[in-house]
């Protein structure tokens, strides 16, 4: 996993709970905490940090990943404004994740194993989004999606329709934009 995600977790935890909380998580996890954005780190170290942060913040793994995704979006927007340029909504932002954002991630961070998102239109302006990742962090994908909606000052509905954690072959999300749905019905 690329160091940029570790750095982002540090920023989010420190902003919400203070730098001491992050230091405590590092100490409890038994990791160095010296992550460079371009560095690559073992997925097990990430999972150790997530497990430790979950316990420290009294959240399940899924709750922590979702919270992290939601809170990370403003940090991402400041650090990588180019990823947000040209998008007027979270829907267009999500549609560009694979072709624009993940393509740029691969340029910046050689060897990055990005998740793959496949979107298809469904009823009244919504989308079904299939999420595929070897890391099985669908809660993080949900948090990023919700964080993107907040970044664009939108309200969305989010249904986790299928999940590999529940034995399904893939994770599938149904995402709706009530304001678009209302406009379509007018």
Domain segments of the chain: what residues?
3-58, 87-185
Q: What is the DSSP letter of 44?
A: H
- For residue 186, pLDDT over 60 is answered with no
For 100-105, what is the mean pLDDT?
Answer: 61
- For residue 141, pLDDT over 70 is answered with yes
C-alpha closest to that of 43 among 134, 129, 121: 134
- Structure tokens given for 4: 């940029």
Tell me: the pLDDT tens digits for 78-100?
Answer: 988 988 888 899 998 988 876 66
C-alpha closest to that of 56 among 20, 7, 105: 20
Q: Which of the listed CATH numbers 3.90.1300.10, 3.40.50.450, 3.90.1520.10, 3.30.1370.60 matches domain 87-185?
A: 3.90.1520.10
Alpha-carbon separation of residue 100 from 33, 85, 87, 163 (angstroms): 30, 11, 11, 25
Classify 2 as helix, strand or coil.
strand
C-alpha closest to that of 54 among 40, 65, 45, 43: 65
Tell me: the pLDDT tens digits for 43-55?
Answer: 999 999 999 999 9
Q: Say what the pLDDT of residue 57 is.
A: 96
Residue corresponding to tokens 């420290």: 56
- Structure tokens given for 174: 């149904």
**Which of left, alpha, beta for 22 (phi over 0: left; psi -120 to 50: alpha)?**
alpha
Residue 110 CB partners (closer than 8 Å, separation 6+): none
Q: What is the DSSP letter of 173?
A: E
């Amino acid at each position: 996993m690329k160091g940029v995600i570790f750095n982002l977790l540090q920023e989010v935890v420190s902003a919400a709970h203070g730098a001491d909380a992050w230091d405590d998580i590092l100490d409890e996890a038994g990791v160095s905490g010296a992550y460079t954005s371009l560095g690559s780190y073992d997925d097990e170290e990430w999972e150790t940090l997530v497990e430790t942060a979950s316990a420290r913040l009294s959240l399940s793994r899924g709750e922590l990943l979702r919270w992290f995704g939601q809170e990370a979006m403003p940090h991402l927007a400041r650090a990588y404004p180019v990823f947000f340029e040209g998008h007027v909504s979270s829907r267009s932002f999500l549609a560009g994740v694979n072709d624009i954002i993940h393509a740029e991630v691969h340029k910046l961070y050689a060897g990055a194993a990005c998740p793959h998102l496949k979107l298809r239109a469904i009823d009244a302006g919504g989308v079904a989004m299939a999420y595929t990742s070897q890391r099985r962090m669908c809660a993080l994908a949900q948090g990023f999606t919700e964080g993107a909606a907040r970044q664009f000052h939108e309200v969305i509905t989010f249904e986790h329709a299928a999940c590999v954690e529940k034995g399904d072959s893939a994770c599938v999300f149904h995402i709706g934009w009530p304001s678009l749905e209302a406009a379509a019905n007018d």
